[in-house]
Amino acid sequence: MTNWLSRSEEITSRIPKGFIFGAATSSWQIEGSSHLRGRSIWEDFADTPGKILDGAGADPATDHFNRLESDLDLLADLGVDSYRFSVSWPRILPTGEGAVDQKGIDFYDRLIDGLLERNIKPALTLYHWDLPSALQEKGGWASKEIYEHFENYADILASKFADRVFTWATLNEPWVIAFLGNAAGIHAPGIKDPATALEVAYRLMVSSGKALEVLRSNKANNPGVVLNLTTIIADDDKIQDAANHIDNLQNRFWLDLLAGRGIAPEIMDSTSQYTNWDFVEEADLRAAANKIDWLGINYYSPMRVASKPAKGPDHIVGQTPALFPGSPPLHFVPREPQTDMGWEMHAPSLTTTLTRITKDLPGVPLFITENGGAFPDKLVDGVVDDQDRVDYYATHLLAAMDAIDQGVDLRGYYAWSLMDNLEWAEGWTKRFGIVRVSEDDPTRIPKRSFEFLKKVFVERN
Ligand code: IFM
């Protein structure tokens, strides 16, 4: 393994002036203090036995709600330009609608002001998966009423924070929300119904487009959206059609909607056994194509597919045919080296993902809004020497610079994640942080990867 701590100048010398560096988190994964807000679908899911691998729930998470100031100090020490966080919808509107909870507004006011005092630009995401349970009871993202609820929520946040936030993202990873939550049922709300998942995918993008308008009408800076797109690799000749189907649902669906191309006939055909798409309306498609000032890409790994299964362990988090309704038979076959999620580490796929997006959605500046890896960290004598994570960051930062050299308008990079946290259905069993936190000890211990990223952030020109 390369000693990147002594070779960070290979990266810093390639970073363009004005490039934004940051770290990212999300509300449900870190905040805790769920008694001070309304209930979300993730508490409902976590309370269902067997849904979360280690039985973890919303509390205490990393206890960030009570440790805000010292967590902001950590960010300042890391030397970031920006911090990407999400707002918990049920902290602002306990049932998703009705009266605003001032406690929730006060918390995010303190967060945003605390960032600005430390010269860190707030990058706010409206929705990172913690839907108020009361809205799920009314149909959640599968119902048309969600448009109005999401617009109302966006309006409240923008009217309070538009003057101080640097970038706004409407949604985080709508593919995950739609398909992990509603097709495979491995995320909240735990529905296993492809037809619902396809409708949710569509309604999410329409909701996002409508919220973009609301943000703009409140003069919010830089409204955008965050997608998890990746490169699909067909590992043998017989699998190209299936690989195209995976690509259609993972990448093309979202890019086409944003670009105003609507829903491709190939996608409608290959999913026709589940839905006739009669919920699609012209006016909605126009809303889904509302202008974004930037697109966020969360990238971790390519998806490698083959006609035959690979040898060895086959539990890959978030890679299963059930996530791609209408898919021909196929197997996910990540190669070594892999992260703890079973995800193949292949930095060149970050470059190809970014160049492809630039081709399919030209003229839109990009940010890498999440990138990082889960590894089986060991705490030895108070130190986490996570060289595997350092290696992951170094190779992916170089791959991001390669994309810039190839003409991609990449404006920034956020590491996932500032700290170990609740990794959704995996609970505490997977650690993505550059700062160690554990389920039974909220003490923050910066890892070697923190030291490495700090060096890169501080030493760049
Ligand atoms: O932890 C998640 C995050 O919430 C969304 N993007 C992927 C991360 C790792 O799985």
Percent of the chain at pLDDT exceeding 70: 99
At 406 the pLDDT is: 98
**Phi-psi domain of 347 (left: phi exceeds 0; alpha: psi -120 through 50; beta: other):** alpha
* Omega prior to 348 cis, within 30 of 0: no
Using CA atoms, how far apart are residues 367 and 354, in angstroms rounded to an integer? 10
User: Has 370 been annotated as catalytic?
Assistant: yes
Could you tell me what percent of the chain has a pLDDT over 90? 97
pLDDT at residue number 310: 87
Average pLDDT score over the chain = 97
232: β partners? 303
Confidence of residue 194 (pLDDT cuts 50, 70, 90): very high
- Residue 1 above 90 pLDDT? no
Buried b (16+ CB within 10 A) or exposed e, 235-266: beeebeebbebbbbbbbbbbbbbbbeebbeee
Pick the residue whose CA is nearest to atom 1 on ligand 1: 423
* Per-residue pLDDT at 6: 85
Position 342 pLDDT exceeds 70? yes
Confidence tier at 461 by pLDDT (50, 70, 90): confident
Tell me the CA distances in angstroms from 236 to 11, 162, 325, 327, one per residue in order.
Answer: 34, 49, 21, 16
Q: What's the pLDDT at 321?
A: 95
- What domains can you pick out in the chain, each with its CATH number? 9-459 (3.20.20.80)
Give the mean pLDDT of 239-262.
98
CA 423 / ligand 1 centre spacing (Å): 7
Catalytic residue among 43, 173, 199, 423: 173
Asked if pLDDT for residue 314 goes beyond 70, the answer is no
User: Which of 416, 418, 421, 430 for mutating ligand 1's site (highest number of atoms within 8 Å of CB)?
Assistant: 416
Atom of ligand 1 nearest to the CA of 423: 1
Atom of ligand 1 nearest to the CA of 172: 5
Q: Among this protein's residues, is 439 annotated catalytic?
A: no
- pLDDT value at residue 313: 62
Give the per-residue pLDDT at 350. 99
Dihedral, CA of residue 367, residue 188, residue 89 and residue 427, to nearest 10:
-70
Mean pLDDT of 169-195: 98
What is the CB < 6 Å shell around ligand 1?
26, 29, 173, 298, 370, 416, 423, 432
pLDDT at 176: 98
Q: Which tens digits make up the pLDDT trace of 121-133?
A: 999 999 999 999 9
With a cut of 80, say whether residue 19 has pLDDT above it. Answer: yes
Q: At what angle do helices 387-405 and 448-459 cross, to 10 degrees?
A: 30
Q: Give me the helices (H) in 239-337, please.
A: 240-247, 253-259, 265-270, 282-288
Looking at residues 51-70, what average pLDDT do you find?
A: 98
The predicted-structure confidence for 97-121, as pLDDT tens digits, reads as follows: 999 999 999 999 999 999 999 999 9
pLDDT confidence tier of residue 2, bands split at 50, 70 and 90: confident
| pTM across the whole model | 0.98
Q: Judge whether residue 391 has pLDDT over 90.
A: yes
The per-residue pLDDT for range 322-337, each reduced to its tens digit, is: 999 999 999 999 999 9
In eight-state DSSP terms, residue 250 is I
CA-based nearest residue to 23, from 324, 460, 452: 452
Specify burial of residue 166 (Cβ count, 10 A radius: 0-12, 13-18, 19+). buried
Q: Is the pLDDT of residue 311 over 80?
A: no
Q: Which residues pair with 83 in a beta bridge?
A: 23, 122
Does the N-terminal peptide bond of residue 328 adopt cis geometry, omega within 30 degrees of 0? no
Mutational test site, ligand 1, from 297, 316, 343, 417, max ligand atoms within 8 Å of CB: 417
Residue owning the nearest CA to atom 2 of ligand 1: 423
State how far the Cα of 320 lies from the Cα of 287, in Å rounded to an integer: 31
Q: Is residue 271 predicted with pLDDT exceeding 70? A: yes
> What's the average model confidence in pLDDT over 31-44?
98
Mean pLDDT of 168-194: 98
